[in-house]
Amino acid sequence: NAGVTQTPKFRVLKTGQSMTLLCAQDMNHEYMYWYRQDPGMGLRLIHYSVGEGTTAKGEVPDGYNVSRLKKQNFLLGLESAAPSQTSVYFCASAANVRNSNQPQHFGDGTRLSIL
């Protein structure tokens, strides 16, 4: 039972390089999310998606882009990496149940360092 799978688990980039973080879920969830976790700040929402083909900005979207071409996949892109984007990135997914808040299920995270 895979749940939410993030690829890669670790990555080191140089400033200005680009990369894409991959997230896949096998629970048929409508909602998907990308968060970043920095020391002492908890998790902050970068972008999210309420369904295939739709995306929306979260609390800290600058410097990131996302795509949800397939329901099970949610991609996070860094076009030109900056040291301030050094962080742990978490993907999550949740079911869409009318008038109900469903728990989000998280991947194991991607540790990204920008030199």
Q: Check binding of 60 to another protein (CB under 8 A).
A: no
Between 58 and 63, whose beta carbon lies closer to another protein? 58
Q: Could you write out the DSSP letters of every residue in 48-63?
A: EEEETTEEEE-SS-TT
Q: Check binding of 12 to another protein (CB under 8 A).
A: no
Between 10 and 69, whose beta carbon lies closer to another protein? 10
100 DSSP assignment: B
Amino acid identity for residue 86 in this structure: T
Token couple for 83 = 């040291």
Subset of 90-109 contacting another protein (CB under 8 A): 90, 92, 94, 96, 99-106, 108-109
